Structure 1
Amino acid sequence: MTGPIPARIPAIVMAGSRPGPDPLLAGTGVATKALLPVAGRPMLAHVVAALRASPHIGPITILAQDSAALAAEPALGGFADLHFADSGQGISASLAAALPVGDAPLLVTTADNVLLTPSMIAEFLTGAADSDVAVAMVERGVLLARYPESKRTWLRFRGGWWSGANLFRLRGRRVLPLLDFWGRIERDRKKGLKIIAAFGPALLLAAVLRLITIHQGVARAGLRFGLKAKVVPMSEAEACIDADKPVDIELIEKIFEQRSR
């Protein structure tokens, strides 16, 4: 089931740095991943441009450990309704502090989601409109049909293999218990079975035995917190290609070149 998109919801861009050295920054002279140039612009500028071009997005807040350094980036000058805030300890704590009061929805994405487009935003928000928590994902066949060379982290469920697309919708402060829980397990975000196991042995067994689809699995995980949670399948393969590794950036720059033709 889908519903209408609420008019201009706020967006958060997670633009902080994870602990430890980032191999993408080695030898570049760039202090933070969000400002690493891709296709001639800092990663973060691509993401903000896509959000600002969407008729469904209102104020945009950039969250990072040193938001002042990002605010000083010239490529971000001129964007309307753009705000900067220092993040807390961990992704979940930072989001909890940024959530609006009441039941207002919020879009969350990341600074390395550089291939984001207004059409992706519209597709995701349309599919997520009736949920408390929604996550965008791409099925493996969709990605490999366009970019067979792309390597992603996959979650295997009945009916398909899925990879995250760095788009999330959260509705109100009711999601705080889920964010608190995620804060305790987010270090294993790239280890699919560990994440599933954290929601209990029944869900893990059902996933391992391929007894449930990813839609059913996410819905069950949400019910643990009294939330309506759902997966929004994305039709564009580029939605799950983010800039994690040098090979990702090579592919992203090829895609930008194709888009410019």
Structure 2
Amino acid sequence: ALVDDFCRRAAALDADAAIGVVPWDRVRTAFPESRRTVWRFRGEAWCGSNLFALLSERGRAAPRFWQSVEADRKRPWRIARRIGLRPLLGYLLRQSDLDASLEALSKVMGCRLAKITVEEPRAAVDVDSVADRDLAEGLLRDERRASPPG
């Protein structure tokens, strides 16, 4: 249901690519002991969800751009050169919200980016560590207990 809802909402957007984001306060409330990557913007904080929609040919080029940014994560000067100093400073100084940052990235990438707010905090759980695996397994166990077989 979560993925279907994301896909329906993405298809209705006027965008080339969409990312699913979960409000950090929902994730923190649901999983207070869990360590998550948090993107902090002006007046808001978000977690990623590993939900992406590539909605056009331009959108399908977005992952290549983002891979190049990820490859330079230990060399911030290269990221600044690729993204531009103004958008990067806007994020670092929390002068921009997520929508403004996506708009700036859209210009750099040559495609329209949009966010889809996902309210389900479990969407922010990925498995990058043993603790994450334990959390995910616990969530799956709880879900099986709550849903009778058949």
Same fold (TM over 0.5): yes
Q: Which residue of 7, 17, 35 maps to 1:151?
A: 35
Code of the aligned partner of 2:140: F
1:234 and 2:98 matched: no
Is this contact kept in 2: 1:127–1:232, CA < 8 A?
yes
1:162 and 2:46 matched: yes
Code of the aligned partner of 1:253: E
**CA distance in 2 between partners of 1:161 and 1:257 (Å):** 29
What is aligned with 2:91? 207
Deviates more, 1:156-165 or 1:240-249: 156-165
Aligned-pair RMSD on alpha carbons?
2.2
Question: Structure 1 pair 167/144, CA: closer, same or farther in 2 (3 Å)?
Answer: same
1:121 and 2:10 matched: no
- Give me the TM-score of the superposition, normalised by structure 1: 0.49
- Give me the TM-score of the superposition, normalised by structure 2: 0.82
Identity %: 31
Rg bigger for which structure?
1
Structure (1/2) with the larger helix percentage: 2
What is aligned with 2:148? none
SS of residue matched to 1:137: strand
Is this contact kept in 1: 2:17–2:62, CA < 8 A?
no
What is aligned with 2:59? 175
Structure 2 residue runs of 5 or longer lacking an equivalent are: 146-150
Q: With CA pairs under 8 Å and 6+ residues apart, which has the higher RCO, 1 or 2? A: 2
Tell me the CA shift for residue 259 of structure 1.
0.7
1:245 and 2:129 matched: yes
Is this contact kept in 1: 2:65–2:109, CA < 8 A?
no
Structure 1 residue runs of 5 or longer lacking an equivalent are: 1-118
**CA distance in 2 between partners of 1:194 and 1:136 (Å):** 27
Question: Structure 1 pair 122/177, CA: closer, same or farther in 2 (3 Å)?
Answer: closer
Structure (1/2) with the larger strand percentage: 1
Deviations 1:150-202 (A, max 9, x none): 1011111012221211111112322355343223222256x7x7797341101
Is this contact kept in 2: 1:196–1:203, CA < 8 A?
no
Code of the aligned partner of 1:219: E
Code of the aligned partner of 1:200: G
Code of the aligned partner of 1:125: C
Is this contact kept in 1: 2:27–2:122, CA < 8 A?
yes
